[in-house]
């Protein structure tokens, strides 16, 4: 099987995250890493590849130079190759442009399955997988907590509020997976060493037949007018339970007219 996994390099949520003067996410002046939710997609690809045998896993990433770290982490986990789309014109792209670029990059590859995470930990829009499916003209099987590849079809379970839906679709398909699906492996020392020799293809917009007019901040179909830091919540009262904690809690709630 030939599996493609889309990954994103994001600012570390445990560290400082902020915006540039142009109101875009600062991706270069911060600590970044492979988006945690994409690790589940990489892991799932590796498991499927191992079970099927004679398979390859290629990760595709759009981002500045530093985004190569996300590709490297996936290669260290065991992916076979990477594709890095980078071009100065891409900075500030909206989700619509991102999905257009990723679809074009995926279009340069042969694949049976495109895997994605459930959303990036910075934007958390969760819209790129359905947009990719639409642009590639492929079935969309998204937010799967469990998947099985059965010959030329995929069978998935998708958890919702009222229950679980079981979905079937023919391959090739775009599948996104949640953090319930598996436990991503840590790269082994052997994996870290092996990653250094794995190929990473670098592509520009011109390589994809796209114009800078299609992407980037100036082409975006939304504009951010203002970004305001919200004052952090200040801690309120704190008491220690001395046998009356529950009662005092309810007194507080009653005072706030919440009970």
Partner 1 sequence: MAEILVLVDHVDGAVKKTTTELLTLARRLGSPSAVVLGPGAESAAGTLAEFGAAKVYSVPVPEFGEFLVVPKAEALAAVVAAAGGPGTVGALLVTSTPEGKEIAARVAVSLESGLITDAVDVQAGPDGAPVTTQSVFAAAYAVTAKVTHGVPVITIKPNSVEAEPVTGAESAQVVEVPVTFSDLAKTAKIVERKPKAKTGRPELTEAAIVVSGGRGTGGDFSLVEAFADALGAAVGASRAAVDAGWYPHSNQVGQTGKQVSPQLYVACGISGAIQHRAGMQTSKTIVAINKDPEAPIFDLADYGVVGDLFAVLPQATAEVTKRKG
Footprint on residues 147-186 left by partner 1 (CB under 8 A): 155, 158-170, 173, 178-180
Contact call for residue 226 and partner 1 (CB under 8 A) = yes
Residue closer to partner 1 (CB basis): 65 or 241 = 241
Contact call for residue 51 and partner 1 (CB under 8 A) = no
For partner 1, how many residues bind (rule: CB under 8 A)?
Answer: 85
Number of neighbouring beta carbons within 10 Å of residue 244: 10
Buried b vs exposed e over 205-226: b needs ≥16 C-beta within 10 Å? beebebeeebbbbebbeeeeee
Contact call for residue 253 and partner 1 (CB under 8 A) = yes
Residue closer to partner 1 (CB basis): 13 or 206 = 13
In the complex, the smallest distance separating the C-beta of residue 105 from partner 1, rounded to whole angstroms, is: 17
Contact call for residue 52 and partner 1 (CB under 8 A) = no
The two beta strands, 32-34 and 153-159, are: unpaired
Q: Which residues contact residue 75 at a Cβ distance below 8 angstroms, ignoring those fewer than 6 apart?
A: 59, 81, 82, 194, 195, 198, 200
Site for partner 1 in 77-96 (CB under 8 A): 94-96
Q: Which region among 48-56, 194-202, 208-216, 241-249 touches partner 1 (by CB under 8 A)? A: 241-249
Residue closer to partner 1 (CB basis): 86 or 102 = 102
Contact call for residue 223 and partner 1 (CB under 8 A) = yes
DSSP-assigned beta bridge partners for residue 11? 32
Torsion of CA 119, 95, 111, 133, to 10 degrees: 90
Contact call for residue 215 and partner 1 (CB under 8 A) = no
Residue 106 has, within 13 A of its CA and on its CB side, a CA count of 30
């Amino acid at each position: 099987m030939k599996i493609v996994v889309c990954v994103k390099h994001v600012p570390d949520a445990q560290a400082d995250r902020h915006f540039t003067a142009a109101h875009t996410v600062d991706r270069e002046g911060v600590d970044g890493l492979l988006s945690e939710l994409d690790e589940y997609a990489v892991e799932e690809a590796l498991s499927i590849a191992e079970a099927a045998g004679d398979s390859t896993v290629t990760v595709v990433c759009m981002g500045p130079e530093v985004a190569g770290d996300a590709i490297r982490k996936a290669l260290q986990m065991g992916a076979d190759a990477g594709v890095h789309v980078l071009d100065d014109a891409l900075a500030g792209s909206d989700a619509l442009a991102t999905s257009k670029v990723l679809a074009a990059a995926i279009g340069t590859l042969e694949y049976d399955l495109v895997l994605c995470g459930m959303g990036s930990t910075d934007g958390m829009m969760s819209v790129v997988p359905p947009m990719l499916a639409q642009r590639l003209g492929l079935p969309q099987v998204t937010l799967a907590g469990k998947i099985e590849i059965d010959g030329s079809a995929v069978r998935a379970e998708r958890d919702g509020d009222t229950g679980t839906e079981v979905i079937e679709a023919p391959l090739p398909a775009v599948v996104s997976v949640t953090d319930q699906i598996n436990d991503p492996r840590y790269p082994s020392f052997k994996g870290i060493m092996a990653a250094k020799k794995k190929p990473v293809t670098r592509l520009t917009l011109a390589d994809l037949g796209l114009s800078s007019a299609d992407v980037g901040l100036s082409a975006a179909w939304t504009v951010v007018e203002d970004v305001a830091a919200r004052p952090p919540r200040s801690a309120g009262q704190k008491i220690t339970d001395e046998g009356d904690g529950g009662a005092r809690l309810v007194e507080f709630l009653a005072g706030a007219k919440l009970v």
